Every structure is written in structure tokens, then in C-alpha cells.
Amino acid sequence: MHKQLGLGGTCRMSTYIYNDEEDVEKFFEVLSKI
């Protein structure tokens, strides 16, 4: 599917009770650089 869409790779974020606000902020910080 990646080849068909011309993508080199993908990532995803999963949240659960052990994630805190700092984890979520870091995710969006890194995501904004992509």
C-alpha cells in the first residue's frame, strides 16, 4: 500500500492512561516539523 500511495513510511500515535500532557505536547512539537 505504501508503494501504491508513494509513501516512504508512516507513523501513528497511541494514547493510554500512562501518557501525560508532556507526551502529547512532544508529539505535536515533532509533528509540526514534518
DSSP structure string for 1-34: -HHHHT-S--------TT--HHHHHHHHHHHTT-
Domain spans of the chain?
A: 2-31
What does the pLDDT read at residue 9?
81
Q: Tell me the residue type at 18.
A: Y
- The tens-digit pLDDT sequence of the chain (34 residues) is 888 988 888 878 888 899 999 999 999 999 899 8
Rounded to two decimals, the pTM is 0.56
Q: How far apart are CA 2 and CA 7, in angstroms?
A: 5
Q: Which three cell numbers stand for residue 24?
A: 502529547
- What is the grid cell recorded at 8? 516512504
Q: Cell numbers 501518557 correspond to what residue?
A: 19
